[in-house]
Structure 1
Amino acid sequence: MTDGMSINIGIPEEKRKAIAEGLSRLLADTYTLYLKTHNFHWNVTGPMFNTLHLMFETQYNELALAVDTVAERIRALGEPAPGSYAQFAGLTVIKEATEVPPAEEMIRELARDQEAVARTARSVFPLAEEANDQPTADLLTQRMQTHEKTAWMLRAMAS
């Protein structure tokens, strides 16, 4: 989809589409993790309340910025970005939290989910690399670095 103008950025259309499909999965994972982290921020209780409440807020704010960056890259590649809960549910590997787990379980779930998003980003990287798509490769590298660091910090808090 090009809104009436052809795209000629040096990446063939079929490769742009494949990369955008991968980025759509990353967007869905990121948005679902954003929602889950925000939910846990609102509902965390216990002796670590203040620490986790603030940590989860930092994490969901970072994720909120990331969804915009990922969606804008999909658009720059000429494809529509998914933007509904139904689309995200069909694309994400992140399981929604329908209950309010104890704080320790929140930490473990978010650590696993951060790792899952890093794996999604890593799975798209070869497509970007093969297409000589440095902007997407840079975006994916940044996302992997952020998710891996956040997962490490969460794991460090788990007992």
Structure 2
Amino acid sequence: MKKIDIGISEVNRKAVAGGLSALLADTYTLYLKTHNFHWNVEGPMFRTLHLMFMEQYTEMWNALDVIAERIRSLGHYAPGSYSEFVKLTSIKESKSVPKANKMIEEAIEGHETIIKTIRGIFDDAEKAKDQTTMDVLTQRLDIHEKTAWMLRSLLK
């Protein structure tokens, strides 16, 4: 294969791709958790939460491709198995089907975890002068911060 020459060193591309791999794992894990919540939510807010969780998991599903394709653009393979995601994710699994309010709390924790993961990647992306990754990170940060705020508002 032809050597990649996009103005970002191999060392920097590897560091950024590593951070993006963690973001991909976090996003996939929260996607799956949110989809589970969509399927299993019960209670007086059923319809509201069922539809909201569907919007959230759909958005994350679409983001997975953007993140994985950025990793590939940097010349690295995107993780794509449960075993890889388990090693890379910072999102905690639900041990059972939680009550609706606990689902909301766990979703908030998941989005806040992803926010921290994103913030941790910025240094490597800035060092690499990788504006494309910084753009992806900024867009993801905006979505996760807004989603966490909306979820927190449900608990008031």
TM-score, length-scaled by structure 2: 0.99
Equivalent in 149, 154, 158 of residue 155 of structure 2: 158
Gaps of 5+ in 2: none
Tell me the equivalent position of 2:116: 119
Partner of 2:28: 31
Match of residue 51 from structure 2: 54
Q: Which amino acid aligns with 1:94?
A: I
Identity rate, percent: 60
Kindly state the Cα deviation for residue 120 of structure 1 after the two structures are TM-superposed.
0.2
Show CA shifts across 1:76-126 (max 9, x none). Answer: 000000000000000000011231000000001101110110110110011
Task: List structure 1 segments (4+ residues) > 2 angstroms apart after TM superposition.
Answer: none
1:90 is aligned to 2:87: yes
**Given the alignment, which residue of 64, 67, 72 partners 2:69?**
72
Report the equivalent of 1:139.
136
Task: Work out the CA distance in 2 between the residues paired with 1:70 and 1:134.
Answer: 14
User: In the TM superposition, what whole-angstrom CA distance separates every residue of 1:23-82 from its partner, at most 9, and x where no partner exists?
Assistant: 000000000000000000000000000000000000000000111100000000000000
Separation in structure 1 between the aligned mates of residue 132 and residue 146 of structure 2, nearest angstrom? 21
Q: Secondary structure at the match of 2:117?
A: helix
Mapped to 2, the partners of 1:98 and 1:57 lie a distance apart of 21
Once residues 141 and 68 of structure 1 are traced to their aligned partners in structure 2, the CA distance between those partners, rounded to angstroms, is 16
Matched residue type, 2:18? E
What is the SS of the residue equivalent to 2:75?
coil
Note the C-alpha offset of 1:141: 0.5
How far apart, CA to CA, are the structure 2 residues paired with 1:152 and 1:89? Answer: 26
**TM-align CA RMSD:** 0.6
